[in-house]
Amino acid sequence: MSFIDPQLETAEEEILPGFKVRFIHSGSMTLAYWDIAAGGLLPEHAHPHEQVANIIEGEFELTINGESCAMKAGTLAIISPNAVHSGKALTACRIIDVFYPIREDYRRSKN
């Protein structure tokens, strides 16, 4: 068992302009703690991981397979593996994403 404070134990990285993140990796999942600037654009992409996006603060417009939703705090989205998705931060926002299995491409961080 591990207890981790992502604010203290992981380095913040800027993955895209306006997208700062801290990653935590468990034995089978990756968690991403995002701080996103208003207007930040997430380009259209897909990956083989299942993803759950949880809006903690602010508003984020998420498009999955051509269907868009303006998500607010408390809203969740489940993104199936290989689903094409993109987004835009309508306001500054904080989002927690959970990916299964682990995002090996995000293992640059120390966890």
Rounded (to 5) percent helix, strand, coil in the chain:
5, 55, 40
pTM for the predicted model, two decimal places: 0.90
Please list the rounded mean pLDDT of every run of 10 residues in the chain (111 residues): 74 94 94 98 98 98 98 97 98 98 81 43
Distances (CA, A) of 32 to 66, 67, 97: 24, 23, 5
Q: What is the pLDDT of residue 111?
A: 43
For the chain, give every domain's residue range: 11-106
Q: What is the pLDDT of residue 85?
A: 98
The dotted CATH code for 11-106 is: 2.60.120.10
Q: What is the pLDDT of residue 20?
A: 97
